Amino acid sequence: MLYLSRIQFATRHNEVLAEVHDCCCVHQRLLQAFPDGTTTTARADYGVLYRLDGRGQVLVQSHITPDWTRLPARLLHHVEMKDVNPRFVAGQRIRFQITANPTRRVTHSADHDSRRVPLLASEDQRDWWRRQSERAGLATQTVRLRVDPSATGWHRTQRRVEVHRVTYGGLAQVTDPDALMLALRQGIGHEKAYGCGLLSLARATEED
């Protein structure tokens, strides 16, 4: 079972709008709806994934029911929740959408230090999704991508955070239902704490 929440933050208030524009602040606020939300493992423990959809609207997925009354009332304009129990079969055609952080790891030969760097070329971004989707039990048939503004914020250690984001959408065929379910529950890629990795799926129609 998964739980989906669609939240509309009260962005008509400037102080709330400022929080929504800080990805670290959004992460901290969303985790307040879960037990022990201040721990470093809370997001993974409760399977919290989210995506900013439009002006101040957030889609949140979790493994347990969140309690949005834990958040200050001034932050929230509207909240909708539902539980879903998805099932997939091999060969099924689906529509997908995901905002992700496509990166590659580079290593400096001098000190053997490695870090992740964003993929900026469109071809590299498409190749990244092809690899990730295959691992997630999907054979992508069509894909479109949109480079989104980077998510930025300030970590509680006073470190500035900047997350490169690309939104992918299109059609795919299910090749491995178990792998797809795992990807759905755990998310895809890095920077899940900052609004990346939530995979949204819907049954394809005849028009697709």
The domains of the chain, with CATH numbers, are: 2-84 (3.30.70.1200), 93-203 (3.30.70.1210)
> For residue 37, is pLDDT > 90?
no
Kindly give the residue spans of alpha helices, DSSP state H, lying in the chain: 14-20, 23-31, 42-45, 122-135, 177-186
pLDDT-derived band at 112 (thresholds 50, 70, 90) equals: low
What confidence score (pLDDT) does residue 106 get? Answer: 85
- Would you say 89 and 177 are in contact if contact means Cβ atoms under 8 Å apart? yes
**CA distances for 189 relative to 2, 17, 41, 136, angstroms:** 19, 27, 17, 11
Instruction: Please tell me the least confidently modeled range out of 88-92, 119-123, 130-134, 155-159.
Output: 155-159
Residue type, 120: L
Stretch 88-105: mean pLDDT: 96
Stretch 148-154: mean pLDDT: 92
Paired sense of beta strands 138-154 and 113-118, if any:
unpaired
**CA distances for 118 relative to 22, 150, 193, angstroms:** 20, 11, 17
> For residue 48, is pLDDT > 70?
yes
> For residue 38, is pLDDT > 80?
no
> Is pLDDT larger for residue 115 or for residue 22?
22
